Amino acid sequence: MNDNKGNQEENQSTKPLFETVPIENSQADTVQPEEISPEVLNPEDVQGGSAFQPEIAPSDQPFVYEESKIKYVFIVFAILLFVGIFILVIRFFTGARSKAPIPDIKLVYWGLWEEKEVIEPLINEYQKNNPHVKIEYEKKSPQDYREKLISWSQKNIGPDIFRFHNTWLPELKSVTVPLPETIMKNLEFEKTFFPITQRDLKIGNFYYGIPLSIDGLVLIYNESMFKKAGISTPPRNWDELVEYVGKLQVINKDKEIITSGIAIGTASNIEHFSEIFGLMLLLNGGSLENLNQLEAAGALEAYRRFAELPNPTWNEAMPNSITAFAQEKVAMIIAPSWQILTINSISKDLKMKVIPIPKPPGGKQVSLASYWVEGVSNSSKNQLEAWKFLKFLSQKDSMTKLYELENKQRLFGEPYSRVDLAQVLIQNPYIGPIIQQAVDDSYVSLPIASRTFDNGLNDELRVYLENAVNATIQGVSYSEALSTAQKGVTQVFQKYNIQ
């Protein structure tokens, strides 16, 4: 309450309601009273008789003014007392709420690839600023991971936060929840992350995950083998890549392959064969939904040509493609960046280089995306807190710290998913091409990724493609092999309600 206003009211209440006029200023000084002769006066009147007794005694008049002043003082006092009590009541209830303890919240976080010591420093930082939140990170085995995630979540015993592949959303509809706009609005998501993540993670008007990294197919080549073959620059387009394959190949007198130019053409011994075929399918203008078309048959023919007579550069007698590259038995492979770490763990002295997937002549550059995303379970009782933690992990500072922690344990960390961090890694010799393809919006996602271990969408589709490749080895035509594959692909798409 304003003290000045209170003083003003108190001053007004003590001021007389009526002001008296001093006698010396009254008209009594100018009007002469009528002279009364002594004999007219009655002696009893002079002695205090009632004839000249005033109705109100002058000595009683001030009590009228005093009574009025006390009344206003009581009114002001009552108002002040009421306001004081009201303030005390408000402070009591608001104080009681502010002092109420915030209940502890436990979040269970299922990861796949990162060890606990990599994630834990960021968890500790978040818990320091949010002491009521306790986060328990568990690194899970990829085998049967997707099935356990769905089964446990449906029983309300699954994790609050979990990692999933960018192609898994059709399989996880029953256990995922959308990213609330109170955590991150769509516009913020679209300004923060690369375009491919927007296409992969949006259903209707909602996003269903936060990507902490990006990855996809790149061309990995052996620099030493290039120099031995007299090649000083990497292939600039797909035609040049095919030309290099012939120069890099080494065969013995029995026409057995000693050194291959590139690992393409079979299914049994090529890591990521399905993605490579999918890439060639897109480069040839085909689509996974329409394997009956001529573009698809042309893509399969181009894929198989690398392993067919008269001049095969790869065959089923070669080792697994990743092992063969590490052993310098093949000069080029197509794989996601994480396979570079596998190769480096086998042969640390290998001089390898990485470039984006070469363009087709006159065409647009294309690569297949394959990365992992963090989501929140609909069985979580603390969904909002879970999304808050994931947003913290996706912030610029957190993502750079995570990369640094990963980089301490291996050749490089996971490539950034944030657009504003692209320039930080774009010159990196190993994952710069991954970032460049994301910046150029070259990525397309197809549910035929290798080593997702989903026992579902990806693995089921890969079986049909593998059967098609193997059928052509047995003499079945490209179009017939793909016609059979098309029936299986259609069934899988219907199973997971993919339009």
In a domain, 1, yes or no: no
Domain of 118, CATH number, reads: 3.40.190.10
Going by the DSSP 8-state scheme, the letter that residue 284 receives in this structure is T
Residues 203 and 314 in one domain: no
Which residue matches tokens 């309601």? 17
Residues 460 and 360 in one domain: yes
Which residue matches tokens 């930082």? 125
Q: At which of 57, 82, 98 does a domain end?
A: 98
User: How does strand 257-262 pair with strand 352-355?
Assistant: unpaired
In a domain, 33, yes or no: no
Residues 346 and 478 in one domain: yes
In a domain, 9, yes or no: no
Q: How far apart are CA 162 and CA 68, in angstroms?
A: 77
In a domain, 6, yes or no: no
For the chain, the 3-state helix, strand and coil shares in percent, each to the nearest 5, are 45, 15, 40
Nearest Cα to 123, choosing from 409, 404, 402, 413? 402
Q: How far apart are CA 383 and CA 180, in angstroms?
A: 9
Q: Within its chain, how far is the Cα of 29 from the centroid?
A: 96
In a domain, 120, yes or no: yes
Domains identified in the chain, total number: 3
Residues 341 and 408 in one domain: no
Q: How far apart are CA 78 and CA 314, in angstroms?
A: 99
Residues 337 and 467 in one domain: yes
What's the confidence (pLDDT) of residue 68? 54
Say if residues 219 and 354 touch (Cβ distance below 8 Å): yes
Query: What's the domain range around 378?
Result: 105-214+371-444
Q: At which of 98, 114, 140 does a domain end?
A: 98
Structure tokens at 236: 């600039």
Tens-of-pLDDT digits for all 499 residues of the chain? 444 444 444 444 444 433 434 434 444 344 444 444 434 444 444 444 444 444 444 444 444 444 555 665 556 566 766 666 766 656 655 554 555 566 799 999 999 999 999 999 999 999 999 999 999 999 999 999 999 999 999 999 999 999 999 999 999 999 999 999 999 999 999 999 999 999 999 999 999 999 999 999 999 999 999 999 999 999 999 999 999 999 999 999 999 999 999 999 999 999 999 999 999 999 999 999 999 999 999 999 999 999 999 999 999 999 999 999 999 999 999 999 999 999 999 999 999 999 999 999 888 999 999 999 999 999 999 999 999 999 999 999 999 999 999 999 999 999 999 999 999 999 999 999 999 999 999 999 999 999 999 999 999 999 999 999 999 999 999 999 999 999 999 999 999 999 8
What's the confidence (pLDDT) of residue 258? 96
Residues 313 and 377 in one domain: no
What's the confidence (pLDDT) of residue 30? 41
Residues 74 and 205 in one domain: no
What's the confidence (pLDDT) of residue 434? 98
Residues 346 and 473 in one domain: yes
In a domain, 210, yes or no: yes
